[in-house]
Amino acid sequence: GNFQSPDRAWFLDNTWKLLPESNIPLRAKVTYTVCEYQKAVRGMACFFSGLDYRVVFNSFSDFPSPDHFRDMRERCRRNIEVARVYIRAKLLSLSVIAALAELTGGDAPIALFVGDLPTAEHQSPRLDDYLDPQGDGATAPLPCNNNSVNVDAEVYDLLMNGRKHDSKFDLRNSPLAAFLYGLMGDAGVERALGKMGSVPMSQEASRALLQSIPKPAVEMIVTNCTKIAITRAERLVEVLESLSWEEEDGDGVLENGDRGSEERQI
């Protein structure tokens, strides 16, 4: 089955196709809102958080063979592990946009903040155009040089380079999620998501979540959002100016450089 696929980009591709089945708003690929997508991804995150790989496959009378069954379970375990981290990184990126929406006037079509999905007939600016987690475009610095940040290189690659295909409601890659995950690592993503609370988010939770992310990253995201969400640009700047961060302890410094560990090379 899909859960034992050795191709995790394909596994996530099929997983993403399930979202519109239980989230009707996503079937309208143009008009769904930030919170509607955030709620859908949060539901999927909850599903994978409670999924035990040991109950996905069963054997009977040595069928499949013990070696084959062990390999199936190991591939399943890794697929679920990658999916959990990938989906939670996606959830954080959506929650950042949801927080900005809440603090600047409330929920709105996601295209207002990140731009329209590109088609063969229509191309317009997108937030992703201004984000460059690899650092080549100079608008988004490389993730912080911090040995305490643990990053799964395979998850980062999937976020940056994408699943197998675009879906009808989302692109295959997620530069914003890749940037935040590379910057904050597993523990940082979990700390930030702990501020989210319910969906839709309250204004208090929205501020807490934004302030749990390093200030330079929030500044970069807001600055580039103003280029897309023209009607909320002034309010976005006001929100940014109203936020406050505790003194950095080094975890939030954005700079180029070697990550210091082969395991975390991204």
| 130-183 confidence digits (pLDDT tens) | 875 554 443 444 454 445 689 999 999 999 887 776 666 777 788 999 999 999
Q: For residue 167, what pLDDT is reported?
A: 66
Looking at 5-14, 150-159, 229-238, which range is the least confident one?
A: 5-14
Residue 29 has, within 13 A of its CA and on its CB side, a CA count of 11
Distance CA 192, CA 213 (A): 7
Q: What is the pTM of this model?
A: 0.83
Q: Which two tokens stand for residue 15?
A: 């997983």
Confidence band for 201, pLDDT divided at 50, 70 and 90: very high
E-assigned strand segments in the chain = none
Is pLDDT above 50 for 254?
Answer: no
pLDDT of residue 139: 41
Question: What is the pLDDT, as a whole number, of residue 235?
Answer: 97
> Strand, helix or coil at 135?
coil
Percent of the chain at pLDDT above 70? Answer: 82
DSSP type of residue 122: -
Q: Quote the Cα angle for 124-95-189, to 5°.
A: 115
- % of the chain beyond a pLDDT of 90: 48
pLDDT digits (tens, 9 = 90+) for 28-46: 766 889 999 999 999 999 9
Residue 67 has a pLDDT of 83
Comparing CA positions, the residue from 128, 238, 243, 237 lying closest to residue 180 is 128
Q: Mean pLDDT: which of 12-26, 50-64, 117-131, 230-244 is highest?
A: 230-244
Q: Which of 16-20, 59-63, 85-89 has the lowest mean pLDDT?
A: 59-63
Q: How much is the pLDDT for 262?
A: 32
Q: Are the beta carbons of 228 and 125 closer than 8 angstroms?
A: yes
Is residue 257 predicted with pLDDT exceeding 50? no
What confidence score (pLDDT) does residue 165 get? 64
Q: For the stretch 109-133, what's the b/e string if a residue is b when 16 or more beta carbons lie within 10 angstroms of its beta carbon?
A: bbbbbbbbbeeeeeeeebbbebbbb
pLDDT at 166: 67
How far is Cα 101 from Cα 147, in angstroms, rounded to an integer?
Answer: 33
pLDDT recorded at residue 12: 87
Distance CA 214, CA 252 (A): 5
User: What are the tens digits of pLDDT across the range 70-91?
Assistant: 888 899 999 999 999 999 999 9
| DSSP 8-state symbol, 165 | S
pLDDT at 260 over 50: no
Taking a C-beta distance cutoff of 8 angstroms, is the pair 195, 206 a contact?
no
Bin 257: left if φ > 0, else alpha if -120 < ψ < 50, else beta.
left
Pick 146 or 264 by higher pLDDT.
146
Average pLDDT of the residues in 13-36: 84
